[in-house]
């Protein structure tokens, strides 16, 4: 009897695993289709040209504002660019280097960098997820298939770089490398502020060094940024631009924290 019971339990376990496996494979297949949509959307933008495609408004704003290191926040305010350049002063060096290139070449280089670091973040995420390989892989594919990933690539946005900075910070902190965690978060912070929220996860007895490293690395990068950004730009950014950041988003379109807040204030409807 015990042998039969054991055999029955094994059959039941196997039967239970099959639907779960097929569900994961189905999720992966749907995710692959959505990833294909990302690729087609990006190809359409490249064919149209980064300098004129409707989706690349943000990228054109980066290139326009960062082309002038003296007054990046005071130019590109017109009907096309909406708000102009609104990113922290240290980020200017990255955008400025890209702006020296033809915009289509700069767009492709920016995409290549995003894809490279996205692959790195994907590897880190898989290592962080304590789940069977098939489950973790399906979850990762589903995460990469969501609309913000495709939009960020097609629009030339920096959101993927921010996500990678956050994932890398968590990864390095969990791996006992607080210095690298601090540098990763600091790089993301001075690109678009939001990764600065991640150190809240480090406020534990075992990870406080990562939080301290983030503060030190952020201060060091701010000082380094003075090589290409005047002190007045820091004051202008934190006193004039950042307090009104929510006003630079379009409700229902922007997917940042400020965009979500603006969307909620607008009643949750379409713009």
173-203, pLDDT tens digit by residue? 989 999 999 999 999 999 988 877 777 777 7
- Split at pLDDT 50, 70, 90, the class of 16 is very low
Q: From 135, 123, 150, select the one nearest 255 (Cα to Cα).
A: 150
Question: Is 231 inside a domain boundary?
Answer: no
Average pLDDT of the residues of the chain: 81
Question: Is 267 inside a domain boundary?
Answer: no
Task: Please write the tens of the pLDDT for every residue from 243-255.
Answer: 876 555 554 445 5
Cα 79-71-54 angle, rounded to 5 deg: 30
What domain count does the chain have?
1
Q: Where are the alpha helices (H) located in 129-228, listed in sequence order?
A: 133-145, 147-155, 159-174, 178-192, 208-225
Question: Is 176 inside a domain boundary?
Answer: no
Question: Is 148 inside a domain boundary?
Answer: yes
Question: Is 140 inside a domain boundary?
Answer: yes
Q: Give the whole-angstrom CA distance, residue 126 versus residue 136.
A: 6
Which domain covers residue 153, as residue numbers?
24-157
Q: Give the whole-angstrom CA distance, residue 204 versus residue 220.
A: 24
Question: Is 255 inside a domain boundary?
Answer: no
Question: Is 41 inside a domain boundary?
Answer: yes
Percent of the chain with pLDDT over 90: 44
The 3-state secondary structure of 37-88, one letter per residue: HHHHHHHHHHHHCCCCCHHHHHHHHHHHHHCCCCCCCCCCCCCCCCCCCCCC
Half-sphere exposure of 244 (CA within 13 A, CB side): 10
More confident call, 242 vs 213: 213
């Amino acid at each position: 009897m015990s042998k039969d019971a054991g055999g029955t339990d094994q059959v039941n376990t196997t039967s239970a695993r099959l639907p779960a496996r097929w569900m994961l494979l189905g999720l992966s297949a749907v995710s692959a289709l959505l990833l294909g949509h990302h690729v087609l959307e990006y190809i359409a933008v490249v064919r149209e040209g980064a300098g004129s495609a409707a989706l690349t408004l943000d990228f054109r704003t980066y290139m326009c504002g960062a082309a002038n290191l003296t007054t990046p926040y005071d130019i590109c305010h017109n009907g096309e660019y909406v708000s102009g350049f609104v990113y922290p002063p240290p980020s200017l060096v990255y955008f400025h280097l890209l702006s020296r290139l033809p915009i289509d070449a700069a767009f492709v280089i920016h995409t290549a960098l995003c894809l490279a670091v996205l692959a790195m973040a994907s590897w880190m995420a898989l290592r962080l997820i304590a789940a069977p390989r098939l489950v973790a892989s399906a979850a990762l594919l589903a995460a990469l298939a969501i609309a913000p990933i495709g939009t960020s690539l097609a629009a030339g946005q920096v959101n993927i770089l921010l996500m990678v900075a956050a994932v890398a910070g968590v990864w390095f902190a969990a791996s006992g490398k607080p210095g690298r965690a601090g540098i990763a978060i600091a790089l993301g912070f001075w690109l678009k502020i939001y990764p600065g929220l991640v150190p809240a996860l480090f406020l534990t007895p075992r990870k406080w060094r990562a939080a301290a490293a983030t503060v030190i690395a952020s201060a060091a990068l701010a000082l380094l940024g003075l090589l290409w950004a005047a002190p007045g730009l820091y004051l202008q950014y934190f006193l004039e631009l950042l307090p009104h950041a929510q006003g630079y988003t379009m409700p229902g379109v922007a997917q940042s924290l400020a965009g979500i807040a603006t969307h909620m204030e607008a009643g949750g409807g379409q713009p």
